[in-house]
Structure 1
Amino acid sequence: MTTDILSIASEVLTLEEEGLRTLREEIVNPTSALSQAYRRTLTLIEKCEGRVIISGMGKSGHIGRKLAATFASTGTPASFVHPGEASHGDLGMIGDRDMVIAISNSGETQELGDLLGYCQRFDIPLVAITGGAESALAKAADEVLLLPKAAEACRETNAPTTSTTMTLALGDVLAVAMLRSRGFGRDDFKIFHPGGKLGAALKKVEDLVKDHKTLPVVSSGIPVIEAIEVLNDAGFGTVGIVDKQGLLVGIITDGDLRRHIGIDPKVETVDNIMTKQPKTVTPHTLAAEALNIMTSGKISALFIIEEGKPTGLLHIHDLLSVGVI
């Protein structure tokens, strides 16, 4: 290619970055019309007893589908309704307890006409995301999230680029604000994401560990040779050391044995070679956090602790088996 593709990349990203910066400045300014409409829109969503219906045509529709999925997965029931299909029966998918967010940069998308009329007829709250302040969509809406003026990154055809990026970001702002307002947390998120790597990462340690008939644990003060036997029999590459109260005070790994290869294992006690204050997890530790502990510390197994006592063992294979890695 003779065109300087790196210059094109810089130009496109710069224009879209400027659009997002302008959007941010508008939203965080409490006196701006967009900021006030944003807060009122959140109130409408919070009061909505049904679903947030998102609609848009063409590129706006693609953005709308993503936003509906984001809302739904973060605690706000939502669906996408195609404006063309809405005119041929899908208006019946919109109930009187729902609200509608319609997306159109120009605000003059003809296919939205029947949807707008339906909202007005049945008094369904309508929010517009548009760049057209005097458009038909803006005039029909109860709230207008007016996108600030910004140059499209495709200057040759003025194709939706910067405007769709701003719309996507504005929708994410609404979704995340609702998530935090409702106290939607990791446990809630996991319910909607049971599959795939993300779902696996959100599992807790207690969901991953199989019951071990015998934990590789020995008492403080015994000869190293006895700990080696337990370590070898268990096959986890580690053995825990507990005191008289059953509290975990250290571990011995294959690496610890290699570092003390010159000792007499029949004479030396486990206390002299063990790693004190080992890294551990609890049953409620997220799988992703446990993986981070393992990878950062180059550890293949972690004892699960409850009130200082070992109750289980998480092995790297437990994470592999459910797809966390």
Structure 2
Amino acid sequence: MLRLYEVIDKVKPLDDEAMKLAQERLDSLTKPQGSLGRLEEVAIRIAGITGKYIPDVPRKLSILMAADHGVVEEGVSAFPQNVTVEMVENFVNGGAAMNVLSRHVRSDLWVVDIGVKGDIPDKRGIIDKKIARGTSNMTKGQAMDRDEAIKAIEVGISMVEQAKAMGYGLIGTGEMGIGNTTASAAVVCAFSGISPQDVVGRGTGIDDEGLKRKVRAIEKALEVNRPDPADPVDVLSKVGGLEIAGLAGVFLGCAAMRIPVLIDGFISGAAALVAYKLKPLAGEYMIASHLSMERGHRVELDMMGLKPLLNLDMRLGEGTGAALAMGIVDVSIKIIREMATFEEAGVSQKE
């Protein structure tokens, strides 16, 4: 626990001077001022995070946390729980959508078992950080105890420490875990006070009856556990998930170590929200990659004051939206690095 709060204390404001110089350089480039819109915003944000007004093009990494959820006993998912293990194997073998997108943007991918219930036959290529074999059924009591939640957060922090030591400068977040949209919706409801009816989505593609079961499960979990929105670890431990906790640690670690970090979809957003509630300043280090089709994702982003870069009607998770947005971050940095100024190009400025 002490380590978690030491990391939280290390999160400092963005570098105002670097952002000012980045803005001045962008305004001097051969284009009307502000004409590249969000690309310029991203470049300035990266300057503030890194402290370099002309940032380096970063080495990229996606951290995918995998874990299971006891609440699947309530019939909240269209897929059986063993799919978590099977998909972890698929990630390691390079056959998932996340693998395709990671290769496309030249990002490395770390697959972390932080709480998968089943045994993975071949552990090669998997980072084993298992805290427990999934969470307990949150409709019958808290999902995990407080110590487990903090340990999982600290796993995420340690992953960022390793990444920084290896020279990674941009991190994407992803996840895998059957039942995790239910836990994420419960986290959002606990923090926002919004009714589950207005947050819950169809996740893996459940039908109308499944949607009703999912809403009831979240309502019951909130009633049974009464998570305290003023205590983010309490919310996380009572209605969250191990992969959500691990990713919350990734967000906090990136903020403490001044590394830009991309939020993916709904589950990643729930983790970002936990990190934001623990340290609101950490939100300045986060970039919202896209807007998920899951209804609660917009609620998460609005609560953190973040605007997504993309809206492609995606809802897969895994880190796919974050991977796509890595290309946008890259090109925003290349604009500020490689475009000529009016003076350099000999182009007349507007009168």
* TM-score under structure 1 length normalisation: 0.30
Larger Rg: 1
The structure carrying a bigger strand percent of its residues is 1
* TM-score under structure 2 length normalisation: 0.29
The structure carrying a bigger helix percent of its residues is 2
Q: Which has the higher contact order (CA 8 A, sep 6+)?
A: 2
